Amino acid sequence: MSISESFWNASIEELKQGYIKEDRHYICLLCGKTTEKGIVYQSEDVFYEAERYMSFHIESEHESVFDYLIDLDKKLTGLTDHQNRLLRLFYDGKSDAQVQKEMGIGSASTIRNHRFVLKEKERQAKLFLTMMELLKEKDNHKPAFIDVHTTARMVDDRYNVTKEENEEILQKFFPEGMDGQLRSFPTKEKQRLVVLRAITNRFESEKVYGEKEVNQLLNAVYDDYALVRRYLIEYGFLDREADGSQYWLKKTIGGKEKMDRKKELKQQYKEITIEAGVFQIKNTKNDKIFIGSTRNLKTLNGTKFSLENDSFSNKMLQAEWSQFGKEAFDIEVLEILKKQDNPYYNEKEELEKLEEKWLNQLQPYGERGYHQEKTR
């Protein structure tokens, strides 16, 4: 099953989490990445079981499911540009007054009216989904249409193609099989869409191609490779630099710009000196604190991720994190361990001493924190 098929066949709950479970695998609905049950995955110094790593993948690679969905074409989301911007601001936690100020429209009551309209849209969508589900139980003549790819630029009746028609078109235009040459370039929109979709399977996801590479790849498909290249871009299958120097398969929103940014961040991450130290997690609602230590302070994001996914080792802290929400907590480094150029230096023992120092100083026990005082 293709990414598009999995995406459109997913339930609302599956779309919200961003992945589906299939046999022994978890599959990202946004890019197709898979993890296997029973395998432990590592990111820097943090280890994750397969499902938790999939959640981590979505957060680190796609920011969030909301960010991915809100970036889809408005023909897919059904949102106007105005509604899209409102949802982004609401998702960022802005108040009505803040949204009004940022958008420069009406008053706070105007924003409340927009919220009402969006709520009405939600109710309509819920009823429509329910009717469509009920219809599936009665409609024995419904055809199986090909899915709309999530990076489509124009969503119209060209997608009115059944899966049976799809196979017939492919057999007609690729008589030697899908790895063979294109017999002729389709003039009809529907046929063109089917053929272009098939051609994208020859590209590697997440790979950036030079113009010469693209031309060679497409020349093996059809003599007029420039024509095919142009339509792949027009239909939203390929993206490219403005000067045409680089191309990439548009499988995920953001394309090469986001890929380059990830590479840049990873390189910056590697260049940061690894430091051990002691950190504090403070509940700003009741001033209770947790003291912890790590041999790599860069992994504090992993600590936050564990708390957000209800898997942190300190159950008292985890319970209040779930109760108050992440906004109620501050995480800060209390002290960085000074390394010594000494052959007898034991970083682990020194880090334990440093943590003990801060435990004695801040006394995070009872009503003051999330630690249990050691019995002597």
SS (H, E, C) 198-255: HHHCCCCCCCEEEHHHHHHHHHCCCCCHHHHHHHHHHCCCEEECCCCCEEEECCCCCH
Pick one of 3.40.1440.10, 3.40.50.12160, 3.30.310.50, 3.20.20.370 as the CATH number of 273-368.
Answer: 3.40.1440.10
Separation of alpha carbons 186 and 34, rounded Å: 35
In the chain, domain spans? 3-135, 157-256, 273-368
Separation of alpha carbons 54 and 47, rounded Å: 12
Domains 157-256 and 273-368 share a fold: no
The whole model's pTM is what? Answer: 0.50
In the CATH hierarchy, which fold is given to the domain comprising 157-256?
Answer: Arc Repressor Mutant, subunit A (1.10.10)
pLDDT per residue of the chain (376 residues) written in tens, 0 to 9: 555 678 888 889 999 999 999 888 999 988 888 899 988 888 777 888 999 999 998 888 888 899 989 988 777 888 888 889 999 999 988 888 888 888 887 777 888 888 898 999 999 999 998 898 888 788 776 666 666 655 555 555 666 678 888 889 999 999 998 889 999 999 888 888 889 988 988 888 778 899 999 999 999 999 999 999 999 988 888 888 888 888 988 754 344 455 554 555 455 545 556 789 999 999 999 999 999 999 888 778 778 877 887 888 899 999 999 999 989 999 999 999 988 878 788 888 999 999 999 999 999 999 999 998 876 5
Three-class secondary structure of residue 336 per DSSP: strand
Residue with tokens 């001033």: 287
Residue type, 8: W
